[in-house]
């Protein structure tokens, strides 16, 4: 039983179209929370209501979490053609979010408030796209 | 006047000492995800803690027995050994979570990775256990832990919807998009965070350290009946500030920095610094208490000389156990396991194991031979039995919930 449980835990389960849509929706939902967290911390920092180390910590964690969401979604095999299309749509929205979070982390560490402000605005636009993805799936 | 001051100090330190990494993490997560709909779990856990801490304190003051002394006497050597091993595992897990928590706070303040801080924090915790007098340990960190009151102040500064907050608390419903298993998993984690066994072990053994007598019962009751519920209010405040700030943004709290964001929004840098000070004091005190509780537990089981009331040379095995516990917990956190995950697992497993610690307390508190006229009355027994039943149900559902929800994911 232990071996069976271990093997079951190691093998990524095969999903059908509906299951894949669920995974994309869940990834989008997680990404919304991640972007929001980093955006909130950076906005408070721009308003000088944060300690830069705390902002750095929250934004760096958000960046790591975003990479993890992407890696997790990439590890799932799309079961059919519509799912491959959905994967491509999700990548178009989620990848830029991850790289904007990296840009934000760089700006936070440099204490470049102008770039932080503009990156927060960019993240706001990306956030709306991610929310649209979440709602449309 | 001096007596009044002493009583006030006792209550104040009980408030600050009630909150630890488990309360910080679970309150932050649940406020953001479930709003105020899980307030009942904190209220229930706090009442349970108050009832059993008062009982354990009374047993300590009147019967002269700390918790594990009673466990061995009432359950017998063999059953108590199983109990001790389970409690030891939990204490070490809790201690690891607290050491990780202190290190995470230091990472937030300094930017230096928490893993660098872990051995330094462990060494500091051991030095405090070794060198600091018991009363100083309790009072200094209890008072510093009061900095967490910034969460209450922040609640008034934020655009809190008081009606929705109250309504959510008294008419709890599972929020849309969340499943019942996840809801109850977090209910168990909040309940477990309030009822962690090491706190009651520390409270009752502390009573022996401070040489409580039947005359100390009033002070002890004030600490338990006033101090702990006020500490519970701090937990509710940490949950409540997350609702207007983190909830609408769907932020899934996964680190201490996120727990502090609502305070930064409400009160700026000063508030944030106070919140971090409160985090530090609460987690550091809890680390020292968890390590001491491990020493108390094992020494009481084996009948060794124990306590900080004795010089280390007179209670070497007690101090050796405390040191070994700190080293083991430090090594565990240094494996890079996520301290927040350790915290959640420790409070949930703690909820599963609480009857092991609390049942013997109820038994001894009902023994007229030990307790004389201070034996449990109807109210204490009624509440004690009711909470023991809740704890039993909780302990049965905990592990299935842990696996079904993949630890709340």
In this prediction, residue B379 carries a pLDDT of 92
- Distance separating alpha carbons of residues B352 and B227, to the nearest angstrom: 25
Instruction: Verify whether the Cβ–Cβ distance A48 to B268 is below 8 Å.
Output: yes
What is the tens place of the pLDDT at every residue in B218-277?
Answer: 888 888 888 889 889 999 999 999 999 999 988 989 889 999 999 999 999 999 999 999
Average pLDDT, rounded, for chain B: 91
pLDDT at residue B360, rounded to an integer: 86
Is the pLDDT at B351 greater than 80, yes or no? yes
Mind telling me how many Å the CA of A80 is from chain B's nearest CA? Answer: 27
Range from B28-42, B85-99, B124-138, B261-275 carrying the lowest mean pLDDT: B124-138
pLDDT higher at B176 or B187: B187
Q: By CB neighbour count within 10 A (0-12 exposed, 13-18 middle, 19+ buried), where does A14 fall?
A: exposed
Q: Cβ contact (<8 Å) for B269 and A48?
A: yes
B10 confidence band (pLDDT: 50, 70, 90): low
Long-range own/partner contacts, residues B222-226 (CB < 8 A, 24 or more apart): B222/B7, B222/B10, B222/B11, B223/B10, B223/B11, B223/B13, B223/B14, B223/B57, B224/B14, B224/B50, B224/B53, B224/B54, B224/B57, B225/B50, B225/B54, B226/B11, B226/B14
Report the pLDDT value the prediction gives residue A13, as an integer from 0 to 100: 55
Set of chain A residues whose Cβ sits within 8 Å of the Cβ of B251: 33, 36-37, 40
Q: Output the pLDDT for position B3.
A: 66
Which tens digit of pLDDT belongs to each residue from A25-67? 999 999 999 999 999 999 999 999 999 999 999 999 999 999 9
So what's the ipTM on this one? 0.86
Predicted confidence at residue B15, as pLDDT, reads: 74
More confident residue, B42 or B204: B42
Which of B111, B251, B261 is facing A53, going by the closest CB pair?
A: B111
A8 pLDDT exceeds 70? no
Give φ, ψ of B213 to 5 degrees. Answer: -130, 175
Measured distance CA(B79)–CA(B89) in Å, rounded: 16
Report the sign of the C-alpha dihedral through residues B120, B121, B126, B129, in that order. Answer: positive
B7 band by pLDDT with thresholds 50, 70 and 90:
low
CA distance A42 to A55: 6
Which residue among A33, A48, A54 sits closest to B249, beta carbon to beta carbon?
A: A33
At B151, list the tokens: 């969460």
Label residues B119-147 b or e (16+ Cβ within 10 Å = b). bebbebbbebbeeeebeebbbbbbbbbbb
Q: Exposed/middle/buried for A110, CB within 10 Å: 0-12, 13-18, 19+?
A: exposed
Distance separating alpha carbons of residues B25 and A97, to the nearest angstrom = 27
- How are the residues of chain B apportioned to helix, strand and coil, as percentages rounded to the nearest 5? 80, 0, 20
pLDDT band at B64 (very low <50, low <70, confident <90, very high): confident
Q: Identify the sign of the CA torsion B30, B256, A74, A7.
A: negative
- CA angle, B121 as apex, B119 and B123 as ends, to 5°? 70
Residue A10: per-residue pLDDT = 53
pTM, whole model, 2 decimals? 0.91
- Mean pLDDT, rounded, for A80-87: 91
With an 8 Å Cβ cutoff, is A53 touching chain B?
yes
The pLDDT of residue B370: 82
Contacts of A39 (CB under 8 A, 6+ apart): A120, A123, A124, A127
Residues in B 266-305 with any Cβ partner in A closer than 8 A: 268-269, 272-273, 276
Mean pLDDT for B72-88 is 87
Mean pLDDT on B373-400: 93
pLDDT higher than threshold 50 for residue A1: no
**How confident is the model at residue B134, as a pLDDT?**
83
- Which one of B113, B116, B251 would you mutate to disrupt binding with A, by most A Cβ within 10 Å of its Cβ? B251
Using CB atoms and an 8 Å cut-off, which of residues 58-77 of chain A contact chain B? 58, 61, 65
Judged against a pLDDT cut of 90, whether residue B122 lies above it is answered with: yes
Does B288 score more than 90 pLDDT?
A: yes
Share of chain A above pLDDT 70, in %: 90
Segment B296-304 mean pLDDT = 92
pLDDT score recorded for residue A2: 52
- State what percent of residues in chain B have pLDDT above 90: 64
How far off is chain B from A35, nearest CA to CA, in Å?
Answer: 9
**CA–CA separation, B114 and A96 (whole Å):** 29
* Interface touch B250/A61, C-beta < 8 Å: no
Residues 6+ apart with CB under 8 A from A56: A105, A108, A109, B111
* Residue in the structure block whose two tokens are 């979440």: A134
B111 inside 8 A of chain A by CB: yes
**What is the rounded distance in angstroms from the CA atom of residue B372 to the CA atom of residue A57?**
56
Q: For residue range B18-51, list pLDDT tens digits in order.
A: 888 889 999 999 999 999 999 999 999 999 999 9
CA dihedral (B348, B249, A31, B279) positive or negative = negative
Task: Please tell me which residue, A122 or B207, carries the higher pLDDT value.
Answer: A122
The closest CB to that of A51, out of B245, B251, B272, belongs to B272
pLDDT for res B158: 96
Residue B290's Cβ-count burial label (10 Å; 0-12, 13-18, 19+) is buried
The alpha carbon of residue B80 is apart from the nearest alpha carbon of chain A, in Å, by 29
B108/A41 Cβ within 8 A:
no
DSSP string, A47-96: TT-S-HHHHHHHHHHHHHHHHHHHHHHHTSPP-SHHHHHHHHHHHHHHHH
Asked if residues B377 and B221 have their Cβ atoms less than 8 Å apart, the reply is: no
Own/partner long-range contacts of B114-118 (Cβ < 8 Å, ≥24 apart): B114/B339, B115/B333, B115/B334, B115/B336, B118/B330, B118/B333, B118/B334
Band the pLDDT of B209: cuts 50, 70, 90: confident
DSSP state of B307: S
pLDDT mean over B384-409: 91
CB contact under 8 A, B249 and A49: no
Residue B29 at interface with chain A, using a CB cutoff of 8 Å: no
- Predicted pLDDT at A9: 52
């Amino acid at each position: 039983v232990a071996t069976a449980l271990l093997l079951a835990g190691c093998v990524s389960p095969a999903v059908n179209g509906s299951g894949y849509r669920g995974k994309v929706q869940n990834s989008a939902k997680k990404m919304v929370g991640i972007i929001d967290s980093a955006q909130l911390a950076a906005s408070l920092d721009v308003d000088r209501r944060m300690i830069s180390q705390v902002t750095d910590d929250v934004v760096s964690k958000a960046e790591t979490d975003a990479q993890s969401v992407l890696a997790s979604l990439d590890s799932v095999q799309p079961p059919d053609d519509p799912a491959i299309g959905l994967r491509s749509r999700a990548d178009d929205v989620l990848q830029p979010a991850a790289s904007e979070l990296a840009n934000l982390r760089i700006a936070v560490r440099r204490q470049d408030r102008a770039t932080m402000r503009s990156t927060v605005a960019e993240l706001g636009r990306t956030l709306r796209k991610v929310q649209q993805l979440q709602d449309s799936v | 006047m001096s007596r009044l001051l002493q009583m006030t100090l006792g209550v104040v330190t009980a408030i600050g000492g009630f909150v630890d990494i488990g309360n910080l993490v679970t309150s932050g997560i649940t406020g953001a995800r479930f709003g105020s709909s899980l307030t009942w779990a904190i209220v229930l856990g706090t009442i349970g803690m108050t009832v059993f801490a008062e009982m354990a304190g009374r047993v300590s003051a009147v019967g002269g027995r700390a918790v594990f002394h009673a466990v061995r006497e009432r359950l017998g050597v063999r059953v108590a050994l199983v109990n001790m091993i389970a409690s030891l595992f939990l204490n070490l897990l809790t201690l690891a979570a607290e050491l990780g928590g202190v290190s995470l706070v230091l990472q937030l303040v300094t930017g230096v990775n928490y893993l660098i801080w872990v051995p330094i924090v462990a060494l500091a915790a051991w030095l405090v256990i070794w060198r600091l007098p018991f009363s100083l340990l309790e009072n200094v960190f209890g008072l510093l832990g009061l900095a967490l009151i910034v969460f209450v102040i922040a609640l008034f500064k934020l655009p809190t919807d008081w009606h929705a907050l109250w309504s959510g608390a008294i008419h709890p419903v599972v929020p849309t998009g969340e499943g019942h298993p996840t809801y109850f998993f977090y209910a168990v984690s909040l309940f477990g965070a309030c009822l962690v066994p090491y706190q009651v072990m520390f409270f009752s053994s502390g009573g022996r350290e401070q040489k409580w007598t039947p005359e100390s019962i009033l002070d002890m009751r004030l600490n338990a009946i006033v101090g702990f519920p006020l500490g519970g209010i701090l937990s509710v405040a940490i949950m409540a500030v997350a609702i207007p700030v983190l909830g609408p943004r769907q932020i899934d709290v996964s680190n201490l920095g996120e727990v502090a964001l609502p305070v930064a929004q409400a009160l700026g840098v000063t508030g944030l610094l106070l919140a971090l000070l409160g985090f530090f004091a609460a987690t550091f005190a809890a680390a020292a208490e968890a390590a001491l509780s491990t020493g108390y537990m094992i020494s009481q089981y084996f009948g060794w000389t124990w306590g900080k009331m004795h010089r280390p040379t007179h209670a070497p095995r007690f101090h050796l156990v405390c040191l070994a516990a700190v080293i083991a917990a430090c090594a565990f956190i240094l494996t890079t396991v996520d301290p927040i995950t350790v915290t959640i697992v420790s409070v949930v497993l703690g909820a599963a194991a609480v009857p092991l610690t609390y049942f013997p307390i109820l038994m001894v508190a009902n023994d007229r031979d030990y307790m004389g006229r201070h034996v449990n009355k109807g109210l204490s027994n009624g509440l004690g039995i009711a909470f023991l039943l809740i704890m039993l149900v909780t302990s049965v559902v905990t592990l299935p919930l842990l696996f079904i929800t993949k630890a709340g994911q």
